Amino acid sequence: MTAVSFQSISKTYTTPRGDFHALQDVSLDIEVGEFFGLLGPNGAGKTTLISILAGLARASSGRVSVLGHDVHSDFAAARQRLGIVPQELVFDPFFNVRETLQLQSGYFGLKHNNAWIDELLESLGLADKATANMRQLSGGMKRRVMVAQALVHKPPVIVLDEPTAGVDVELRQTLWQFVAQLNKQGHTVLLTTHYLEEAEALCSRVAMLKRGKIVTLSRMDDLLKSASSTVLQFKTDDALPETIAARARVTGRIVQIPAHDATDVEQLLATLRQGGVHPQEVEIRRADLEDVFLHVMQQQQQQQVSGVRP
């Protein structure tokens, strides 16, 4: 059964410089019980797609449904089945944490929801903040409350739009343990994140967006198998030879270079030595989702520059 269905979704904004196509004919189905990742660089259209799903924006064309309920013609039923954690921290400064969750329960017609609210507070590490005013909380604690608000009506479909952006490691671990537990219980989860290690660990299937189009839609296992088999990683303070620099991903002193096999690794190391590079802490690892993501995005960019249709 399909939990969320996007059917030929396009979204166009009219600007003084002309039309801007935020989404272009996006189609995908997310099955009940899936943990699905929606990935892409900034401006790819992820949040626009989530806003259309939530009913906060209207698609220029296409149809979106949640468990068979159209998000516009049957908005109340669709929204009842959705729990959405947005990127922005939005809160009412006049209520404490428990009152905020009780008020949110009322929006969904829930009058006796205290047992579940207590469970949410405990699971998200908010029990000792239940009577604290929202404006007194740190950014990370406010983020926890927003997660609790999204889950207060026990929605079968949970949408997490960059839920761990700018929060500490403890919250990330607490949140993922709780959401993974809900997913095992049958809840469908749609996640957008820039932390690709999170997506790799949690998602069974992912779609990658770029400039409003889906460029990859695949199971996680298949996506990782399609990557280069190994990555040569090391640290250095030396400048890389041009032939190596063109292939490398450099973060500070850390250099990562895709390698197809052991022979390729040997040739890379020989080229580095000839170029006067002294690698430290050398290791060879399997390609991960970040490697795949960068490869897909670079490949898409090259196709656009050369005029080749994806």
Q: Which residue has the tokens 């400064």?
A: 93
Q: What is the pLDDT of residue 83?
A: 94
**Residue spans of alpha helices (H) in 73-210:** 75-80, 97-107, 114-123, 139-151, 169-184, 196-202
Q: What is the pLDDT of residue 307?
A: 55
Domains of the chain: 2-224 (3.40.50.300), 228-286 (3.30.70)
Q: The pTM is what? A: 0.80
Pairing relationship of beta strands 157-161 and 188-192 according to DSSP bridges: parallel
E strand or H helix at 63: strand 61-66
Give CA–CA dist 116/110, Å, rounded.
11
Give CA–CA dist 160/190, Å, rounded.
6
Give CA–CA dist 67/154, Å, rounded.
15
Please list the pLDDT of the chain residue by residue as tens digits (310 residues).
899 999 999 999 988 888 889 999 999 999 999 999 999 888 889 999 999 999 999 999 999 999 999 999 999 999 999 999 988 787 888 899 999 999 999 988 888 899 999 999 998 889 999 999 988 888 888 888 999 999 999 999 999 988 877 677 877 888 888 899 999 999 999 999 888 888 888 999 999 998 899 988 989 888 877 665 688 899 999 999 888 888 888 888 999 888 877 888 888 999 999 899 989 999 888 777 877 787 777 666 666 555 554 4
Q: What is the pLDDT of residue 229?
A: 67
